[in-house]
Amino acid sequence: MRTPLSSPERKALEVAVTRGCCCSPDPRTCLPAGHCLSGARIRHLLESDWIVVSQGSIPVGLAAYRRADSDVRVVHELLVDRTLAACDAARVTNAMLSAAEIVASDDHISCLMFLVCGAVALPSFEQRGYTAIVVDSCGVWVQKKLDRLSWATTRSEHPN
């Protein structure tokens, strides 16, 4: 078992997006501390796109989703290192949310949904405008309607 890194050691977070199962890394080496997935969940993970947040070579966050012909994207796995202090877990969660929102926007997705369970803090979602839509024994389903980036479609007006 890994010992948790203290907050001063956790300065830079690295975010990587892996698309498609043909180039997916081994989930056993990419799972954040404190998580053990069943064989079925690992197989599902191998068929998904990933967002991996690392501190150096240590994975501290993993989000996984499958692409679909839909305006809605569902992130079916959201794992944060369970040994992290609450403030560090929030930083990792925010990094994954930022990456998921950017990738969704690039893919023209209009609604992003997550199943939030366990140690993943809901305040990070609430602060970013996510709304809880279903609470059940598995966790809390949250969603956010993504606005098209106005700065990407707005052209500057120059005098003729």
Contact 63, 96 (CB under 8 A): yes
Contact 36, 74 (CB under 8 A): no
H helical segments located in 4-121: 27-30, 39-46, 86-106
Residues forming a β-bridge with 51:
17, 63
**In the prediction, which pLDDT does 112 show?**
94
CA distance 111 to 120: 20
CA distance 114 to 131: 10
List per-residue pLDDT tens for the chain, 160 residues long. 444 455 555 468 999 888 765 445 566 677 888 887 778 888 888 888 999 999 988 899 999 998 888 899 999 889 999 899 988 999 999 999 999 999 999 999 999 999 888 767 788 999 999 999 988 877 889 999 987 553 343 333 444 4
- Picking from 20, 18, 110, 21, the residue whose alpha carbon sits closest to that of residue 62 is 18
**In the prediction, which pLDDT does 148 show?**
59
Count Cα atoms within 13 angstroms, Cβ side, for 151: 1
Residue with tokens 């990094």: 95
CB atoms within 10 A of CB 102: 14
Residues forming a β-bridge with 132:
142
- Domains, the chain: 13-148 (3.40.630.30)
Contact 147, 111 (CB under 8 A): no
- Picking from 69, 89, 70, the residue whose alpha carbon sits closest to that of residue 79 is 89
- pTM reported for the whole predicted model: 0.79
